[in-house]
Copies of this chain bind each other. A is one copy, B any other.
Amino acid sequence: MQKKDFSDGPCPVARTLGVVGDWWSLLIVRDALNGVRRFNDFHRGLGCAKNILSSRLAKLVEHGVLRTVPASDGSPYREYELTEEGKGLRLVLLALRQWGEDNLFEPGERRTTAVDRASGRPLAPLEMRDADGRPLGPDDVEVRAPAP
């Protein structure tokens, strides 16, 4: 994230990582998706240095992932709210979550789980699908360079 700048490159993956590709940004978005809105709540939940949190929040606001709003209750402070753009990152977070569940946990180990609010059951694994909605296997996909 530091020196290299892919923000004008042709790869959407690299551009996205330019916005949320550092250690804290996606964890901030994760907490924001869970309803966290206040500086100190992010700070406590993440345990990251306050100056870093401050700069990350500013960067996310700058890129339109978060916006600041005056106050939700009567308190005189502002809060951080996900934009629609920011909410779109829930798919990224879910993909990261499912990969971690599958590969980084022992069976039976304690973990947080994303569930369907209505039924309380865990979500289905994400699937790649073609334009008609048919599931695609690992080798059915390739990345094409842009037209010249």
Within the assembled complex, what's the spacing in Å between the Cα atoms of A136 and B124?
10
Is A44 part of the binding interface, using a Cβ–Cβ cutoff of 8 Å?
no
Within the assembled complex, what's the spacing in Å between the Cα atoms of A5 and B1?
19
Q: Note all chain B residues with C-beta closer than 8 A to A136.
A: 116, 123
Is A138 part of the binding interface, using a Cβ–Cβ cutoff of 8 Å?
yes
Within the assembled complex, what's the spacing in Å between the Cα atoms of A27 and B147?
22
How far is the CB of A139 from the nearest CB of chain B, in Å?
8
Is there contact, CB below 8 Å, between B113 and A124?
no
Question: A residues within 8 Å of B by Cβ?
Answer: 1-2, 4, 7, 10-17, 19, 21-23, 26-27, 30, 33-34, 47-48, 64, 85, 87-105, 110-124, 126-133, 136, 138-147
